[in-house]
Amino acid sequence: MKAELSRIIEMAWEDRTPFDAIDKLYGLKQGDVQKLMRKNLSRRAFRSWRERVRGRKTKHVSRRHSCVSRICCPSQYKP
């Protein structure tokens, strides 16, 4: 469980990993990810993360350019 939590936090910090990928892999919607981040990060780190992802097109599949059809980089997942 701790490794899974760590991976979710890592994916949430990654600029190019959309919330849809986290939902697909772990069943967590954007609001759930925000709650998880708020609970597991320091206040300062959470604020920094929120500023970083706010309005970022790459974190939302529906806002991405239509030529990007994948939800993650093929080399993203480590064996």
Structural domain contains residue 76: no
Two structure tokens written together for 79: 């064996």
pTM: 0.71
Structural domain contains residue 79: no
Number of helices and strands in the chain (H, E) = 4, 0
Structural domain contains residue 38: yes
**Which pLDDT tens digit goes with each residue over 44-78?**
999 999 998 887 766 665 655 556 555 555 655 55
Structural domain contains residue 74: no
Structural domain contains residue 30: yes
pLDDT on residue 40 = 96
Domain that holds residue 24: 2-63
Instruction: Choose among 59, 34, 30: nearest CA to 46.
Output: 34
pLDDT on residue 46 = 96
**Which pLDDT tens digit goes with each residue over 1-34?**
788 999 999 999 988 888 888 999 999 999 999 9
Structural domain contains residue 14: yes
Measure Cα distances from 66 to 9, 12, 61, 69 in Å. Answer: 27, 22, 9, 7
